[in-house]
Amino acid sequence: MNSETPNDEREVIIDAEGEPLGGFLTLPPGSHTLVLFAHGSGSSRFSPRNRAVAAELNRAGFGTLLFDLLTADENRIDEQTREYRFDIPLLAKRLTGALDWAHLQPDLAQRHYGLFGSSTGAAAALIAAALRPTLVRAVVSRGGRPDLAGQALPRVQAPTLLVVGSEDHQVIELNREAAAAMGQPPQLELVPGATHLFEEPGTLDQVVRLAIDWFDTHLS
């Protein structure tokens, strides 16, 4: 890839089954992939951690789509009531809608799709993978709650990587329980010294390396 050629970066409005959702689409030159991000509870397309991960994926040649899972009105309500951030069926519906939207765009339709989910967004990613098995080729979960995907877990066919901090003990157990329920056994990686948000120095870098390797193996 020519490092002097700039990425195609643009703001987009995604029609997710009739709901307009704002997003940031970044397509490195020569890329044939697209990784859609599903952020965690109470977050948005402006999430610093997901933006950092997306930027590193872009440098590695992967296209990325960061977008809001809630509309502006829903987000305002959620800031007061928190009634939407744990609505996993709604989040999964929006992510699936974003996949369908991407598949209809002329410059995105033929790409290999991956999903990157964080916290509750990981459950939405696994449900979307189960609902769109011919589209989703790989899933990465960062500090995720795959257990919240419930009955969708046995139907997930996409190769899945579960990344959890070694100090995030409760979430480790929830990931192990979810892994046991999945039809295709996922790979579980523990990042040494990391807690739930991977705020410790160097831990998010390790997540990035694991994600790049996973998507490089299953999307390229």
For position 149, what pLDDT does the model report? 97
For position 42, what pLDDT does the model report? 64
Answer whether residue 2 is part of any domain: no
Cβ-contact 82, 88 below 8 angstroms: no
For position 71, what pLDDT does the model report? 85
Question: Domain residues for 163?
Answer: 8-219
Answer whether residue 50 is part of any domain: yes
∠55-109-10 over CA atoms, to 5°?
40
Could you give the dihedral angle defined by the CA atoms of residues 104, 35, 135 and 41, in that order, rounded to the nearest 10 degrees?
-100
Please report which residue ranges of the chain form alpha helices under DSSP H: 48-59, 72-81, 88-104, 120-131, 169-181, 203-219
Cβ-contact 44, 129 below 8 angstroms: no
Answer whether residue 75 is part of any domain: yes
When divided into structural domains, the chain yields a total of: 1
Three-state DSSP state, 137:
strand
If the chain, 220 residues long, is cut into consecutive pieces of 10 residues, what is the mean pLDDT of each piece? Answer: 73 90 95 94 78 95 95 82 84 96 95 96 97 98 96 97 98 98 95 95 97 96
For position 41, what pLDDT does the model report? 65
Could you give the dihedral angle defined by the CA atoms of residues 153, 154, 160 and 166, in that order, rounded to the nearest 10 degrees?
60
For position 189, what pLDDT does the model report? 98
Answer whether residue 119 is part of any domain: yes
- The DSSP call for residue 21 is E
Answer whether residue 1 is part of any domain: no
Answer whether residue 60 is part of any domain: yes
Cβ-contact 39, 196 below 8 angstroms: no
List residues bridging with 189 in a β-sheet.
Answer: 163
Give the CATH number for residue 190: 3.40.50.1820
pTM to 2 decimals?
A: 0.93
DSSP codes, 22-72: EEEEEE-TT--EEEEEE--TT--TT-HHHHHHHHHHHHTT-EEEEE-SS-H
Answer whether residue 3 is part of any domain: no
Three-state DSSP state, 169:
helix
For position 4, what pLDDT does the model report? 60
Q: What type of residue is 42?
A: G
Answer whether residue 212 is part of any domain: yes
For position 1, what pLDDT does the model report? 43
